[in-house]
Amino acid sequence: MVEKILVIEDEIALSETLVYNLKRQGYDVHAAMDGHEGLSLARSLKPDLILLDLMLPGIDGLEITRILRKEAKTPILILTAQGEEIDRVLGLELGADDYMAKPFSMRELIARVKAILRRIQLDRNGAQEETLEVHHFGNLTINQRKHEVYLDEKPLKLKPKEYDLLLYLCANHGHVLTRSLILEEVWGWDFSGGTRTVDVHIRWLREKIEEDPKNPVRIITVHGVGYRFDE
């Protein structure tokens, strides 16, 4: 099934860029240029994800978020201008799933979109039977319901953040994830530590799941970008 994305953004150049790049990724993309049109399309299209600018003519992004959260659970990625921290925080409190501050890297936005959609898919799977919550990656097994990880059928002792990081990497296997994206998704946008935290936890994970941690075949370093989990 092709996932449907709605872009609600009044900057024509940015809207066209977002639509073009998301369509290249294979998504079914629709766009609205103001709040009223965006709210109407959100209700009629029932998209899998909404990219929502906060500063919109007609109805602003915060009000759209407030209205939609009463009607649906559609994930919302808000787009904010630099300096809109209060609005960004309010948007998250109203129920938005994530945010990106302008200007942003299109590569990172695509990665963020994929991460949100995969997380939603994992949540949907979580509503099904327990067997669907067990993920196998070769000799590595993750049981989400039991919060357990096995290597060669032997239990691994992972710290809470090691488990969260591994689960996030596995959920996005095959995709390159930036350190900043991993930090925000696993530790939270308000975490005050730097991306070095990600590197340290990656090293710890490699020591536990790689046969040769110095020559990893699962958690791959993509130089100058971040990391990729290979099955």
Q: 33-43 pLDDT, tens per residue?
A: 999 999 999 99
Dihedral angle at the C-alpha atoms of 176, 181, 183, 186, nearest 10 degrees? -80
| pLDDT number for residue 123 | 65
Domain 4-119 listed as CATH 3.40.50.2300: yes
Residue 222 has what pLDDT?
94
Q: Token match 């989990």: residue?
A: 229
Here the tokens at position 13 are: 């150049």
CA-atom Rg of the chain in angstroms: 19
Query: Which of the residue ranges 103-112, 162-171, 188-197 would you say has the lowest mean pLDDT?
Result: 188-197
Fold of 130-229: Arc Repressor Mutant, subunit A (1.10.10)
Ranges for all domains in the chain classified under CATH 1.10.10.10: 130-229
* Parts of the chain belonging to CATH 3.40.50.2300: 4-119
pLDDT at 229 > cutoff 50: yes
Strands (E), 33-119: 49-53, 76-81, 98-102
Q: What is the pTM of this model?
A: 0.56
